Amino acid sequence: MPVLLFAGDLHLSCGVASGWNPVGQAGTVTQSHQNVVEAIDGKPALDFYYRYLGGLPPSAEYPLAVFNPPSTNFYLRAPHEVHDLAQGSIKFAGDVPQGAIVQITEASRAEILTAAKTSMQQALSAYPGTEPSAALFFSCVGRRQLLGMQIQEEYQLVNSCLSAPLPSCGFYTYGEISPFHLSGNTQYHNETFITLIFGTR
């Protein structure tokens, strides 16, 4: 597990974007246990997916947007596998709390890629200093699997936001941990691109 520690008087900002957009009707998780969702709106979780996928099984291309009212922000949960076909439960790549509001999401390849640029733009606009020193990028391995050879365009789009070179590094992750903004609560994300920029000026 890589660990990087910071100390001193640093300016920080972050950006969080995925490219996926909620579609269709929202539902309420009425029965779940950690990362297994048994029921949405009192019906098997698989039925919620079947309504929009025409009977196809859940896949990482259509993650769940998870809302915690009253916030309008959402984090993603990627379906991992059908947990119990008879029960209609789904296992996700992260916990889904009972009572959460959820929606199916969809995204084009272009929207998934553009999220990298959006994440960088968010971080730059929120930076409290005048000149960041470096950037760290965290992109979900699920994005890499879906984008294939196009994945290199994430970094190209990030760099298009900069007027001058900025030292940076990053890696593909199995879950991304970040608040939507630095004053908010930290969330565990799936299939998301996260930018952290920092500096002393």
- Angstrom distance (rounded) from CA 182 to CA 184: 6
Q: Where are the domains of the chain?
A: 11-18+108-199, 21-106
Phi, psi of 153 (to 5 degrees): -70, -20
Contacts of 131 (CB under 8 A, 6+ apart): 199, 201
The topology (CATH level 3) of 11-18+108-199 is: 60s Ribosomal Protein L30; Chain: A; (3.30.1330)
Amino acid symbol at 51: R
User: What's the CATH code, domain 21-106?
Assistant: 2.40.30
Encode pLDDT of 97-152 as tens digits: 999 999 999 999 999 999 999 999 999 999 998 889 899 999 999 999 888 888 88
Query: Distances in Å between the alpha carbon of 83 and those of 13, 38, 94, 97, 193?
Result: 38, 9, 14, 17, 27
DSSP state of 151: G
Per residue in 25-45, pLDDT tens?
Answer: 999 999 999 999 999 999 999
pTM for the model: 0.87
Strand partners, 75: 66
Which three-class secondary structure state does DSSP give residue 123? Answer: helix
